[in-house]
Structure 1
Amino acid sequence: MSQASVLTVPADRDTRSTILATGRRVMGAKGFSAVGLSEILGEAGVPKGSFYHHFGSKDAFGEAMLGAYFEDYLREMDLVVTKPGLTGAERLMLYFANWRETQGAMDCQGRCLTVKLAAEVSDLSETMRRALKAGTDGVIARLAAMIGAGVDDGSIRIASTARDVATSLYHQWLGASVMVKILRVEDPFDCAARTTRQMIGQIAA
C-alpha cells in the first residue's frame, strides 16, 4: 500500500465519522425530514462530494447514522450490564436511572434518536426501520440479560419470561419518554419507575 493510501484511509474514516456525528446531533434536535443534506454538510464543514463518497443517499446515511448510534448506545449499555458488585435488579434500575437522566433533558442533543426518529423514519424508509429494529432488539436482549441475572441472584421476581418483561419495560419507558416531551414534566418517568419496581417484584403491586 502506498503512503498516500495509508494517509487517505484514516482521513476518509474521520470524514465519515464527522458527517455521522453531525447528522446525529442535528437530526436528534430537528428530526430527519426537516434537515437537508446541505445543513448537515455545512455544520460538518465537508463538501457534498464527500457525502456521496460515503453514502449513496439520504436514506443510506440515515441507516448508517442509526447503526452508529446503536453501536455506541449498546456499548455504553454493556458497561451497566456487566457492572461488578451489583445485583441484577440494581443494574436494571441503574440503567433506567441513566435513561431518565439522558432522555429527560428537553434538548437531548442527539442522545435519544429512537424516541426522536422512530415514528417518523419507520414510515419513510424500510432500511431505517430495520436499523431501528436491530438496535432496539439489542437493547431488549440486554434488558432480558439483566432481568435473568436478577432472577438467578434472587433480586428479581417475575411472573413471565425475562424476554417478555424486558420487552414490556422497554415499551413502557419509550412511551414515558414521549409523554415527558408532551407534558414537559418528568412525572411519566416516576410512574415508569414505580411500575418497573412492581414488575420485578421490588414493591407490592
Structure 2
Amino acid sequence: MTGLVAAVLAAAPTAAFAHTGAAETSGFMHGLAHPVGGLDHVLAMVMVGVLAFQLGGRALWLVPATFVAVMALGGGLGVAGFTVPFFELGIAISVVVLGVTVALGAPAPLATAMGLVGFFAIFHGYAHGAEMPAGAGGVAYGLGFMAGTALLHIAGLGLGYGIGRIGARYAPLAVQATGGVAALAGVGILTGAL
C-alpha cells in the first residue's frame, strides 16, 4: 500500500529547484502543516484517534492506519488532478459524523469503524493533494501530510487516554462529551458559523 501511494505521489510533476533538496524540505513542511491548518481537519483527525481509543484493542492502530492509508490515496487523486465532488462538504460532514460516533459511545465492529474513517479519509486526502503548493515535492509533501495526520491521530489517542485517567465512572461521559463538542463544531463548520 505504501509503495502504491509513493508511486502515485512520485508521478506528480514537480518544479525544478536551484538548490538540491529544496522541494523535498519545502514539500514535507507544507504537508506536515496542512492538516493542522484547518479546524475541520484537526477535529476530524483527533476524533479518529478518540474513536480508536474507545474501541481499544487492534482498533488503536488499525483505525488510524486505515485513515492515513486511504487519505494518501485521496491525496494522490488530488495531486493527479482528478476531481472529488463535494470534498469540502465531505470534510465538514466527517467532523459531525465522527463527533456523533464518539459522543454515542456505542461499540462498533472494527470493520465498520475502518470503513467509516476510510470513507471520510478520501475527502481529507483529496483536499491535501489538491492544495499542494506549487513547487513542493510531491512525495515529500505526501509524507508530510501523512505524518501530520498521524500526529493528530496520536493526539486523539492521547486525549482519550488522558480522559480515561479521570476514572472509570466519569471517563466515558467525558469522552462522549468531547465527541459532542466536536460534532457541534462540525455543524458550525458545515453552516459557515465557524
TM-score, normalising length: structure 2: 0.30
Higher relative contact order (CA 8 A, sep 6+): 2
Greater CA radius of gyration, 1 or 2?
Answer: 1
